[in-house]
Chains A and B, each alone.
Chain A
């Protein structure tokens, strides 16, 4: 997109175009789009400037979820490309969309397949889980006070949990 921007800037460098652009910028109706452009640029720059601390983040964030804010600028760039009237640019935009979508889909499929194959077999339930389920079935439901019940609560049926902490007093049990 940058080369295209440079070409456009060179082509539209006349005073008439600059005056038109300035007038467009000062229009009240242009404010939302100007805001969007500034926001998109800010998101893009934040990835490249704020997170470039090599000690804290040795890996470039562009390949991580943190670069999601860049999508606004990519969206604008694609709109810019699609709006070009000369032949190769809309085609390049379409190629970018299709190849990007295809590659994303292939990678997603490969990752999910790999994760599914690497999934360990379902472990046997812990003795406490078995005991709790048996007791709950016997009593028709019960409440148990437990430290960190979230580790096994999803494996039990008919058991309510009362969570206690290291500092919990007896009258709070």
Chain B
């Protein structure tokens, strides 16, 4: 899924929860990398292992 668009980061507003964040696969696909002024920045798990 990460390879599909080859994204480096996923930026999500901290106060809202998007439907894709609720899926179980999300936790295994992305991990929290950084928080920044009411934003959560996730990094794809595969990218971190490269």
Using a CB–CB cutoff of 8 Å, the interface residues on chain A facing chain B are 126-128, 131, 135, 139, 142-147, 162, 164, 166-173
A22–B39 alpha-carbon span in the complex (Å) = 74
Chain B residues near A172 (CB, 8 Å)? 20
Give a binary string over B1-45; 1 marks a CB under 8 Å from any A CB, 0 the rest: 100111111111100001110010110010000101101010000
Chain B interface SS verdict (over half) = mixed
Chain A residues near B20 (CB, 8 Å)? 164, 168-170, 172-173
Q: Are B9 and A145 in contact, CB atoms less than 8 angstroms apart?
A: yes
Chain B residues near A131 (CB, 8 Å)? 34, 36, 41
CB-nearest residue of chain A to B26:
A170
Chain B residues near A167 (CB, 8 Å)? 19
Q: Are A127 and B8 in contact, CB atoms less than 8 angstroms apart?
A: no
Chain B residues near A127 (CB, 8 Å)? 36-37
A131–B8 alpha-carbon span in the complex (Å) = 13
Q: Are B5 and A166 in contact, CB atoms less than 8 angstroms apart?
A: no
- Are A173 and B7 also in contact (CB < 8 A) when A127-B36, A128-B36 are? yes
CB-nearest residue of chain B to A168:
B20
21 A-B pairs, CB-CB below 8 angstroms?
Answer: A127-B36, A128-B11, A128-B39, A139-B8, A142-B8, A142-B9, A144-B9, A144-B10, A144-B11, A147-B11, A164-B20, A166-B18, A168-B18, A168-B19, A168-B20, A169-B19, A169-B20, A169-B23, A170-B25, A171-B1, A173-B7
Expressed in whole angstroms, the minimum distance between the Cβ of A138 and any Cβ of chain B is 10
A127–B14 alpha-carbon span in the complex (Å) = 15
A164–B34 alpha-carbon span in the complex (Å) = 19
Expressed in whole angstroms, the minimum distance between the Cβ of A165 and any Cβ of chain B is 9
- Are A162 and B37 also in contact (CB < 8 A) when A147-B12, A147-B13, A170-B29 are? no
